Structure 1
Amino acid sequence: MKSTIKRVSLAGVILLLAQSTIYAQFSLVGQVRTRTELRNGLGNLAPKNAPAAFFTSQRTRLTFGYKWDRVQFQTSIQDVRVWGQDASTINNADGNRLMVHEAWAEVTLANSADTTIKFKPIQNLSLKIGRQELVYDDVRLLGNLDWLQQGRRFDAALLKGQHMGWALDLGVGFNQNTDAFGTVGDNYTPGNVAALALSNKNVSLTIPAGFIPTAGKSGAPVLATPLSTNGQNQQFKSFQMAYLTHKFNQTKFSALFFKDDFQKYRTDSLGSAAAGYVYGRRYDVAGTNSRLTYGAMLTGQLGNTSSKLGKVQWQAFAYGQGGKDRDGLNIKKAYHYGGNIMFQKGLLSVGPGYEVLSGNDATTIQSGETSRFDPLYGTPHRHWGYMDYFYVGTGSPAGGLKDAFLKFKYANTRLTTTFDIHYFALAAPTYNKMTDAPVGALLSNKLGMEYDFVANYALNKFTNLEFGYSVMNGTNSLEYAKQGTMGEKNHIGTWSYLMINIRPDFLAAKPANK
């Protein structure tokens, strides 16, 4: 025990003696982020007379980084939990929520400024490999989902090149469940499943590898943990991507090609007549369903805050999807486009925007087809209302989405406040199939209005306080499109939160006293 203490003490002394070198090469950043929420209609309209939910969640994260001339390394470890969800004491069987969020290394292959590297055809080239965040543009299609306490990361390899002002990223990922001896083939079970499931006779049955239970014969998969945004029912098997960008004066151009492949499956069941059956999907079918997403974005700026008209920031984008979706449906004419503009004068900003995500036209869609655009692995919370009604874990309307919005912002040195107004509507005709509706009746396309207010105050260099309050004024169409009922939910949803974000940089030098 004494020798261990001596070794730890010696290591501490060495670290202190090498402090100046450590500051130059290492980074160590912590984060404690608590968010206290009052939910009464977040994500979906709440049942009538249902009590509001109230809780506090916390993310604790420690990020360690190292940088040398030709190598960068970073690992991020985090713990995510809701206050009180664990007993005050735990045993070994309880486990915890500690996980590796990031663990990657980036190796420089070419650098025109480094005379010791002989490879010169490209100015900068590097390979980044390991568990990492993919963050591009405005995190519309690829993002780290940082609003969610768990965040999002990918196990991937990324080849990054820069030359003459152009930047190109080429990425690949390939997922597998196990590397155990005896494993054959590369079929992938794309979800976390509980060890047991109840049969239709309420008997617990063991779930074998390669099988995901569903809610009934044709229901949604029953997973131990949600997979991602937009109510996804399976994780991709593999992906390949290319991202190209260049800045022309004050206008940035970017283009994205993203192909994700989903393991094919067949419907099956397990159990017996005596014990009952568990229905589900068996992932033992060779091959994948491949989906292609492609498009471009332009962002620009005119003037500055002191000019006569102020600073004008604008954005326009258009994307399409083709191939097959995760369930093998043929994707037909799926698209996402939009634009927005923001006028800033002094500390105030205001601007409108409009976006469309395609959906299924109930009057023309054929069996085996879909026209629903899926915004991939982005951060929906940032774009389609802070109350997370669309393209998050609760899914999205089959008829797609139109979003017309107006945003206001005030920002000074410490305080930033925003107020957003959204008008949501269906993008395609959707049948009303309630039993009391006439045959062929269509839903009204109006889904609702959402109002989002956020105030963020920088308490000090490492600490931010944020308060948010949102209201959803929904309609019968919203209730039906999201939950399949009418008149059973409270159409006024509210949500408020207080978030404290403490993010110290442990190796930052303290400013000298003046």
Structure 2
Amino acid sequence: MKKIIYLIALIVALSCVEATAQMTISAEVRPRTEFRNGFKTLTEDSKDASFFTEQRSRLYLDYADSAFKFRVSFQDIRIWGETTQIFKEEYGKTFLSEAWGQYYFTPSLSVKVGRQIISYDNQRFLGGLEWAQQGRRHDALLLMYEQNKTKLHFGLAYNQDDDVPEQAFLQAPGAGYYSVGGSYKTFQYGYFNKGFENGSLSLLAFNAGYQNPDTTVSFKQTWGVVASKKLAGISLAGDFYYQTGELGKNKVNALLAGINATFTTPVTPLTFGVEYISGKDDDDTSSDITAFSPDFGTNHAHNGYMDYFYVGPANGSVGVTDLYLKTSFNVAGGALKTNIHQFMTGSTQLDTEGQELSKTMGTEVDLVFIKKLKGGVVWNLGYSQMFASDTMEALRGGDKSALQCWAWTMITFKPTFFTSK
């Protein structure tokens, strides 16, 4: 704690020295209480529901002058009650959320290096995952060109273990081996975005390297196109991603494609959309990976809030076709978001007798009430329910006839303590 206080004092002092510098100290406290009974996968009557409160607490330190920007963000994530009331030490859950600096060669050209959020467009493939209390961060370097309505970014990262002493870690057989599960060893990407009068176009080329058990590295490429356009009161948006390359010795050949249209009505906007994410057929005996993986996206924002798909290990290689309707109503001084999803498999799946299962997996209804309170405080109240099919039960287990629901409430405080002039 003393180190944090010293760092705050140092940055405040620096902001006083440079007249053109600006210093901001802000924070966030966000407790979320959840009732889970069929969240992420089907439950059954013999299983108890869970009820808990998880809290995120953050402290942001931002500094900027004419030459560079700088941010350090500290974060604490915990479940209420997991630490005793009186303690001398606890398991560490306070850690660095962000720590980066951005240097400007010119007003349009900069380099950003450090622990940072990488998020683009609808966050389908690259997103901050801020719904999750911990969020998603990358240790990376970005070269960024931004002028008018044009963005051109190049990013790279290289990850390494530190589970052996430094001397052996730097110079030894296998010193370059990366053993952190679920993460890439290296990536390189290029991102282009162009804004137009009534729309935008984004292009992404992302190359990720994953460590193999034999110390080699396999590379998977993801190519993406994201576009939007407004036409005569209708907003159209779509995205297409294709994955190729290899994972281990398996070839990758997978895709994601989605399109939606938003219509403005006198009562409420209506968004109709469909998204297809490829899976792997049960009768496909090849070693090819045909199930698309939105590896670094904010997946909670897509395919239903109950997180049945692409959050954690859920859904395996089944894939999904998602038909959805989204709208929002003004209610009691706030907004009531209403989403309905019809889920089908993104591949051919078989039952235990080898017969093809129906593609229909179920229908999910999501309701979220959002209200802004005094002082910029935001309150959320949500309820979701899954109406599962026989196919969902066959693929996931559980009991589709049991009540499959999720309820939650969250309040967010984001005060700014200090801003220099």
**TM-based fold match above 0.5:** yes
CA distance in 2, matches of 1:405, 1:313: 16
Q: State whether structure 2 residue 55 is matched by structure 1 residue 58.
A: yes
Tell me what 1:30 maps to: 27
CA distance in 2, matches of 1:21, 1:312: 47
TM-superposed CA distance for 1:490, in Å, is: 5.0
How has the CA–CA distance of structure 1 residues 413 and 48 changed in structure 2, closer, same or farther, with 3 Å as cutoff?
A: closer
CA distance in 1, matches of 2:400, 2:337: 29
Paired residues in the alignment total: 407
Q: State whether structure 2 residue 178 is matched by structure 1 residue 188.
A: yes
Tell me what 2:405 maps to: 494
Conserved in 1, the CA contact under 8 Å of 2:23 and 2:419?
no
Residue 338 (structure 1) aligned to one of 247, 251, 258 = 258
Residue 153 (structure 1) aligned to one of 134, 137, 157 = 137
How has the CA–CA distance of structure 1 residues 38 and 412 changed in structure 2, closer, same or farther, with 3 Å as cutoff?
A: closer
In the superposition, the TM-score normalised over structure 1's length comes to 0.75
Tell me what 2:418 maps to: 507
CA distance in 2, matches of 1:316, 1:503: 33
Q: State whether structure 2 residue 388 is matched by structure 1 residue 477.
A: no
CA distance in 1, matches of 2:410, 2:265: 29
Query: Which runs of structure 2 are paired with 1:152-171 in the superposition (5 Å)?
Result: 152-163=136-147, 165-171=149-155
CA distance in 1, matches of 2:394, 2:67: 56
Residue 270 (structure 2) aligned to one of 350, 359, 363 = 350
CA distance in 1, matches of 2:252, 2:51: 40
CA distance in 2, matches of 1:488, 1:474: 9
In the superposition, the TM-score normalised over structure 2's length comes to 0.90
Which SS does the other structure have where 1:150 is aligned? coil
Residue 299 (structure 1) aligned to one of 216, 219, 228 = 228
Which SS does the other structure have where 1:79 is aligned? strand
The one-character-per-residue Cα deviations of 1:458-501 (angstroms, maximum 9, x if unpaired) are 002430010000000112311332x3x4x656553101111010
Tell me what 1:288 maps to: 217
Residue 248 (structure 1) aligned to one of 186, 196, 201 = 196
Q: Which amino acid aligns with 2:28?
A: Q
TM-superposed CA distance for 1:250, in Å, is: 1.2
The one-character-per-residue Cα deviations of 1:17-68 (angstroms, maximum 9, x if unpaired) are 959969x601111000010111100001113332211111100001110111
RMSD: 2.5
How has the CA–CA distance of structure 1 residues 499 and 164 changed in structure 2, closer, same or farther, with 3 Å as cutoff?
A: closer
Which SS does the other structure have where 1:85 is aligned? coil
Bigger relative contact order, structure 1 or 2 (CA pairs below 8 A, ≥6 apart):
2
Which SS does the other structure have where 1:492 is aligned? coil
Report the structure number with the largest CA radius of gyration: 1
How has the CA–CA distance of structure 1 residues 394 and 48 changed in structure 2, closer, same or farther, with 3 Å as cutoff?
A: farther
TM-superposed CA distance for 1:161, in Å, is: 1.0
CA distance in 1, matches of 2:403, 2:288: 34
TM-superposed CA distance for 1:164, in Å, is: 6.4
How has the CA–CA distance of structure 1 residues 340 and 360 changed in structure 2, closer, same or farther, with 3 Å as cutoff?
A: same
The one-character-per-residue Cα deviations of 1:328-377 (angstroms, maximum 9, x if unpaired) are 42112x110011111234662112100000011223x2332120000121
CA distance in 1, matches of 2:18, 2:381: 39
Conserved in 1, the CA contact under 8 Å of 2:40 and 2:314?
no
How has the CA–CA distance of structure 1 residues 463 and 19 changed in structure 2, closer, same or farther, with 3 Å as cutoff?
A: farther
Q: Which 10-residue stretch deviates more, 168-177 or 83-92?
A: 83-92
Q: State whether structure 2 residue 143 is matched by structure 1 residue 143.
A: no
Tell me what 1:360 maps to: 280
Conserved in 1, the CA contact under 8 Å of 2:362 and 2:388?
yes
How has the CA–CA distance of structure 1 residues 414 and 74 changed in structure 2, closer, same or farther, with 3 Å as cutoff?
A: farther
Which SS does the other structure have where 2:348 is aligned? coil
How has the CA–CA distance of structure 1 residues 354 and 46 changed in structure 2, closer, same or farther, with 3 Å as cutoff?
A: same
Which SS does the other structure have where 2:369 is aligned? strand
Tell me what 2:238 maps to: 316
TM-superposed CA distance for 1:442, in Å, is: 1.3
Conserved in 2, the CA contact under 8 Å of 1:358 and 1:371?
yes
Q: State whether structure 2 residue 296 is matched by structure 1 residue 377.
A: yes
CA distance in 2, matches of 1:492, 1:452: 15
CA distance in 2, matches of 1:345, 1:95: 52
CA distance in 2, matches of 1:95, 1:176: 24
Tell me what 2:340 maps to: 421
Q: State whether structure 2 residue 250 is matched by structure 1 residue 329.
A: yes
Which SS does the other structure have where 2:404 is aligned? strand
Conserved in 1, the CA contact under 8 Å of 2:344 and 2:362?
yes
CA distance in 2, matches of 1:18, 1:104: 21
How has the CA–CA distance of structure 1 residues 104 and 343 changed in structure 2, closer, same or farther, with 3 Å as cutoff?
A: same
Runs of 4+ residues over 3 Å off in structure 1: 17-22, 411-414, 487-492
Residue 258 (structure 1) aligned to one of 203, 206, 219 = 206
TM-superposed CA distance for 1:95, in Å, is: 2.7
Which runs of 5 or more structure 1 residues have no equivalent in the other structure? 112-123, 192-233, 266-284, 304-310, 510-514
Residue 361 (structure 2) aligned to one of 434, 443, 447 = 447
Tell me what 1:44 maps to: 41
The one-character-per-residue Cα deviations of 1:79-105 (angstroms, maximum 9, x if unpaired) are 00000111122333x332001000000
Q: State whether structure 2 residue 133 is matched by structure 1 residue 133.
A: no
Which runs of 5 or more structure 2 residues have no equivalent in the other structure? none
Q: Which 10-residue stretch deviates more, 181-190 or 422-431?
A: 181-190
Conserved in 1, the CA contact under 8 Å of 2:339 and 2:366?
yes
